């Protein structure tokens, strides 16, 4: 801000764009940060750099020199900074996260510049970033799984379909290195209860295991019976429809789908689910 409280007048010094090949949005932003920073530091009389980006992961990676897909950009940034910063005690740099929703003018202009750029053909020898390949493999795996998931034979008739908060069928994901069924990270036998792979009569019948097929109430111990109508268990939300319905049922009935529900006397059966 100037002394009279007015913001400084901004003027464009330089603009550029370049294709980055097959890359994720974070890779592309990091490449942009690298080019912009190196150019700014090379300008004569540059003492302070304020770098704005709407991509927080790219800002965090800018000085991360560990091994990852965009490491070359981070190495270039750090190498440039290591030469520029010691030159003067007045040299300083600020990396500022500026979300797009703020609709800051100069940021919008940069976005429009890129939107106006011509599309570049990838070609048969495109530069490819490792993170893009991982992302591509994730999408291919999920597309294939989701396509097959609608087939009950592939999915398994014992697999319990549940919905998320938007009434969408809950599907697994490989994103963010997370669990295949991230909504069930809490435990309570959720995975085994949902798939029917659990010490219940139906499972024993299914695999011809010489154990009683009865529920604790005396009826056939099927997954549907235990989740929907057994008088020995507590129900709050009826037959599970949402993911939290199942978690709520298992929280209220911790012995359900466990060895202890069958009145066995083996040690630690409360925890074991087979």
Residues forming the site for Zn ion (CB under 5 A)? 215, 217, 230
Residue with Cβ nearer Zn ion (30 or 230): 230
**Placement of tokens 């190495």 in the chain:** 75
* Straight-line distance from the first to the last Cα atom of the chain, in angstroms, rounded to the nearest whole number: 67
Smallest separation, CB 236 to Zn ion (Å): 17
The answer to whether 30 and 59 are in contact (CB under 8 A) is no
Structure tokens at 143: 């597309």
**Closer residue to Zn ion, CB minimum distance, 173 or 213:** 213
Other beta carbons within 10 Å of 238: 10
Q: How far is the CB of 232 from Zn ion (least distance, A)?
A: 5
Alpha-carbon span 259 to 274, nearest angstrom:
8
Secondary structure class of 224 (helix, strand, coil): helix
Closest approach of Cβ 219 to Zn ion, in Å?
5
132 vs 257, beta carbon nearer Zn ion: 257
**Least CB distance to Zn ion at residue 100 (A):** 54
Nearer to Zn ion, 84 or 257 (CB): 257
Q: How far is CA 76 from the centre of its chain?
A: 28
Question: Residues 184, 186, 191, 194: is their CA dihedral positive or negative?
Answer: negative
- CB of residue 257 vs Zn ion: minimum separation in angstroms? 12
Q: Which is nearer to Zn ion, 24 or 253 (CB)?
A: 253
């Amino acid at each position: 801000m100037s002394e009279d409280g007015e913001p400084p007048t901004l003027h464009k010094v330089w603009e550029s764009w370049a294709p980055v090949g097959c890359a994720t949005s974070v890779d592309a932003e990091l490449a942009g940060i690298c080019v912009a920073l190196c150019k700014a530091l090379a300008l004569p009389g540059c003492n302070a750099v304020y770098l704005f980006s709407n991509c927080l992961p790219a800002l965090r990676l800018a000085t991360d020199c560990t091994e990852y897909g965009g490491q070359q950009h981070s190495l270039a940034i750090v190498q440039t900074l290591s030469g520029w910063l010691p030159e003067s005690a007045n040299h300083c740099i600020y990396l500022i996260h500026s979300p797009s929703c703020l609709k800051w003018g100069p940021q919008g202009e940069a976005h429009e510049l890129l939107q106006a750029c011509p599309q570049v053909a990838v070609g048969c020898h495109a530069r490819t970033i490792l993170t893009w390949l991982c992302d591509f493999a994730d999408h291919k795996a999920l597309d294939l799984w989701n396509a097959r998931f609608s087939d009950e034979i592939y999915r398994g008739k014992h697999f319990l379909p549940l919905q998320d908060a938007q009434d969408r069928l809950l599907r697994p994901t490989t994103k963010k290195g997370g669990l295949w069924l991230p909504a069930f990270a809490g435990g309570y036998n959720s995975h085994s209860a949902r798939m029917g792979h659990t010490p219940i009569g139906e499972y024993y019948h299914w695999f011809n295991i010489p154990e009683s097929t009865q529920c604790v109430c005396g009826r056939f111990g099927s997954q549907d019976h235990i989740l929907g109508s057994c008088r020995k268990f507590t129900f709050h939300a009826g037959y599970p429809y949402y993911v939290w319905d199942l978690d709520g049922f298992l929280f209220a009935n911790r012995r359900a789908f466990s060895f202890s529900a069958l009145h066995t006397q083996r040690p630690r059966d409360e925890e074991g689910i087979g």
